[in-house]
Amino acid sequence: MISKTTPALSELLNWVKKGECILFLGAGVHAPPPDESPYVYPEEHRPPLGKELAVKLAQACDFEKVLPNESSLDLQRVSLCLETTESLGRSKLVHCLTEHLRTGKKPSPALAILAALPFKIFVTTNYDLLFESALRKCDKDPTVIVYSKHSDKPTQDMEGDPTEERPLLFKMHGDLDQRDSIVITDEDYITFIQRMSDKEALHPVPQTVRFRMKKWPTLFVGYSLRDYNLRLIFRTLRWRVDPANFPPSFSIDKNPDPLLLHVWQYERHFVTFVTQDLWTFVPWLFREITGKEYQHE
Q: Domains of the chain, with CATH numbers?
A: 7-35+107-290 (3.40.50.1220), 48-101 (no CATH)
Distance (Å, rounded) from C-alpha 146 to C-alpha 178? Answer: 8
**pTM recorded for the entire structure:** 0.93
Which of 55-69, 73-87, 257-271 bottoms out in mean pLDDT, i.e. has the lowest?
A: 257-271
Cα→Cα distances 176→91, 94, 103, 104, 150, Å: 11, 7, 11, 14, 17
Q: Which residues pair with 121 in a beta bridge?
A: 22, 168
Amino acid at 146: V
Amino acid at 28: G
Q: What is the pLDDT of residues 183-197, one digit of tens each?
A: 999 899 889 888 888
Amino acid at 105: K
Q: Which residues contact 184 (CB under 8 A, 6 or more apart)?
A: 75, 76, 79, 93, 97, 127, 173, 174
Q: What is the pLDDT of residues 207-256, one digit of tens each?
A: 999 889 888 999 999 988 777 767 777 777 766 666 666 788 899 999 98
